[in-house]
Amino acid sequence: MHEPERPFALADGEPTAAVIRARSRQVAFDYSLVLLSQGIESTVLHDDAGWRLTLRPEDQERARSVLAQYRRENRAWAWRDHLADAGAQLHGGALLWCFFLAFFYWWAKFGGAGLSSLGEMANAKVEAGEWWRLFTAMTLHADLGHLVANLTAGFLTLGLAMNRWGAGVALLAAWFAGALGNGADLLLYSEAHRSLGASGMVMGGLGLLAAPPLRSLGSGADTRRSIVRGLLGGLLLFVLLGLNPASDVVAHAGGFVGGVLLGFCLAALPQPAVRHPAANLVCGTVLTGTAMLVWSLAWRS
């Protein structure tokens, strides 16, 4: 009987970097996001030898523990995955976000004639006063492939961000970060520009992860290094995931920057208050109310 293939292996002999091997591009990105959520900086590389991540040797043992636990939990396809002692998890609430977007796609395609035209990001109409399109565009998708791509990346980025900051807080922050991304379209593109999709919100979730982990916030050089490592790790993932020339790169960049800024704002607040169930309930209510408000305005326009 053959031994099951291991999805990664760490090379211990390199003097300047530890190496994590990955079987595919998707696995490499997944590992990098999981490590980033724990404050471990890594770089995704690819050559003839395959996909791999490099990281500092002193992070090797912790990375081994985090990713080993990630593999064990994902064998059972758990929607809420415990990642080692550090406590990283994919929050199951991200699945509800996926269901919401899938429902809206079905409604727009089969039951809501003209829904896309009512809610898409159209610069000329936003400039004419239809500001709600900054938000409604995030609930719409052009086709099934577009939807699946955003659901795949969003489940991971938003699931990790929801675990760090709280479900309601993280989703509301990513929602506004995505709106900021659409606002960047408004500033940098002509009046004829049109777009739709939740990718700005997904990049907002990545930006929330790039803000330093709460336990790393202290004083002195260690804090500066933690901040720089988190930002560089998030930026490298953004380059790999958000710079597809066929996509709305401006909205992606705006969403990512918005997520980073909101992440630092959250880190500056008292953390027990940010993660308190009441705060997340309020944020979730604001998110739901905002979504209902913008679509009611779209229907009346």
The C-alpha atoms of residue 242 and residue 25 are separated, in whole angstroms, by: 15
Catalytic option among 219, 252, 276, 301:
252
For residue 174, give the amino acid letter.
A
The C-alpha atoms of residue 101 and residue 291 are separated, in whole angstroms, by: 12
> Is 276 labeled as catalytic in the residue annotation?
no
Catalytic option among 37, 195, 199, 226:
199
Angle subtended at Cα 243 by Cα 224 and Cα 213, rounded to the nearest 5 degrees: 25
> Is 219 labeled as catalytic in the residue annotation?
no
Helix (H) or strand (E) run with residue 248 in it: none
User: Among positive and negative, which fits the CA dihedral 165, 169, 174, 177?
Assistant: negative
Nearest to 118 by CA among 107, 130, 103, 106: 130
The C-alpha atoms of residue 127 and residue 120 are separated, in whole angstroms, by: 13
Helix (H, G, I), strand (E, B) or coil at 196: coil
Tokens of 146: 């577009």
Residues 6+ apart with CB under 8 A from 140: 104, 105, 108, 115, 116, 119, 120, 196, 197
**Cβ–Cβ under 8 Å, residues 13 and 224:** no
Which residues have a catalytic role annotated? 199, 252
